[in-house]
Amino acid sequence: MSLIIAKIISGKIYIESDTKITDKDAVRTDPLCGLLKTIIIHPCISISFAGVIYFAEKALKNIFEINEFDLNSLTELLYNSHIKSGNKTDFIIASLINNEPKLIKISNNKIEHDVNSAWIGEYDGFKYFQSNYLPLLSEGVDEILSFKNSFKKVIDNSNIDTIGNFQISLHTDDKICLEHYVFLYTTEIGIYASEPQTIDIETAGELKPIPLGTASCGSFGISYLATISPNFHGVAIHFTHGNFGTIFCPQLSFSGIIVSNVNGIEFAKHIKDKYGIPLSGFVKLDETKVQYINTAE
pLDDT for 100 = 93
User: Do residues 29 and 126 share a domain?
Assistant: yes
User: Do residues 138 and 284 share a domain?
Assistant: no
Domain termination residue (choose one: 108, 141, 173): 173
User: Do residues 191 and 169 share a domain?
Assistant: no
3-class DSSP state for residue 234?
coil
Would 182 be classed as within a structural domain?
no
Question: Which domain CATH number covers 164?
Answer: 3.60.20.10
pLDDT for 248 = 94
Rounded to 5 degrees, what angle do the CA atoms 157, 34, 14 make?
A: 65
User: Do residues 158 and 26 share a domain?
Assistant: yes
Give the model's confidence band at 25: pLDDT under 50 very low, under 70 low, under 90 confident, else very high.
Answer: very low
Mean pLDDT of 87-104: 95
Per-residue pLDDT reduced to its tens digit, 209-265: 777 877 777 777 899 999 998 889 999 999 998 999 999 999 998 888 999 999 999
Rounded to whole angstroms, how far apart are CA atoms 152 and 197? 28
Can you give 108-165 as a three-state secondary structure string? CCEEECCCCEEEEECHHHHHHHHHHHHHHHHCCCCHHHHHHHHHHHHHHCCCCCCCCC
Give the model's confidence band at 280: pLDDT under 50 very low, under 70 low, under 90 confident, else very high.
Answer: very high
What Rg do the C-alpha atoms of the chain give, in angstroms? Answer: 20
User: Do residues 16 and 151 share a domain?
Assistant: yes
Rounded to whole angstroms, how far apart are CA atoms 92 and 101? 13
Rounded to whole angstroms, how far apart are CA atoms 133 and 141? 10
pLDDT at 267 over 80: yes
User: Do residues 154 and 202 share a domain?
Assistant: no
pLDDT for 281 = 96
Would 219 be classed as within a structural domain?
yes
Rounded to whole angstroms, how far apart are CA atoms 200 and 209? 10
Domain count for the chain, please give it: 2
| Nearest one of 115, 164, 173 to 144, comparing CA atoms | 173
User: Do residues 162 and 82 share a domain?
Assistant: yes
Domain termination residue (choose one: 143, 173, 203): 173
pLDDT at 193 over 90: no
User: Do residues 58 and 140 share a domain?
Assistant: yes
| Nearest one of 259, 100, 42, 168 to 268, comparing CA atoms | 259
Per-residue pLDDT reduced to its tens digit, 98-114: 889 999 999 999 999 99
Rounded to whole angstroms, how far apart are CA atoms 261 and 291? 19
Would 197 be classed as within a structural domain?
yes
Mean pLDDT of 145-164: 94
Rounded to whole angstroms, how far apart are CA atoms 163 and 261? 29
Rounded to whole angstroms, how far apart are CA atoms 165 and 18? 7
Q: Going by C-beta distance under 8 Å and a sequence separation of 6 or more, which residues neighbour residue 14?
A: 6, 7, 8, 144, 147, 148, 169, 170, 171, 172
User: Do residues 8 and 87 share a domain?
Assistant: yes
Would 130 be classed as within a structural domain?
yes
Give the model's confidence band at 177: pLDDT under 50 very low, under 70 low, under 90 confident, else very high.
Answer: low
Mean pLDDT of 136-143: 96
pLDDT for 205 = 63
DSSP class per residue in 55-116: HHHHHHHHHHHHT---HHHHHHHHHHHHHHTTS-EEEEEEE-GGG--EEEEEETTEEE-S-S
pLDDT for 34 = 80
Mean pLDDT of 135-151: 97
CA atoms within 13 A on the CB side of 183: 33
pLDDT for 27 = 43
pLDDT for 21 = 82
Would 229 be classed as within a structural domain?
yes
Helix or strand (DSSP H, E) at 38: strand 38-42
User: Do residues 68 and 128 share a domain?
Assistant: yes
Domain termination residue (choose one: 147, 173, 199): 173
Mean pLDDT score of the chain, rounded to an integer?
A: 89
Would 208 be classed as within a structural domain?
yes
Packing angle between helix 143-156 and helix 123-138, nearest 10 degrees?
140
Distance, first Cα to last Cα, the chain: 39
User: Do residues 217 and 164 share a domain?
Assistant: no
Would 146 be classed as within a structural domain?
yes
pLDDT for 206 = 67
CA distances in angstroms from 152 to 48, 142, 189, 201, 255, listed in the order given: 18, 15, 14, 37, 23
Give the model's confidence band at 31: pLDDT under 50 very low, under 70 low, under 90 confident, else very high.
Answer: low
User: Do residues 13 and 137 share a domain?
Assistant: yes
- Domain span at residue 232? 187-294
pLDDT at 201 over 80: no
Give the model's confidence band at 189: pLDDT under 50 very low, under 70 low, under 90 confident, else very high.
Answer: very high
CA dihedral 250, 167, 181, 115 (to 10 degrees): 100
pLDDT for 191 = 84
Would 249 be classed as within a structural domain?
yes
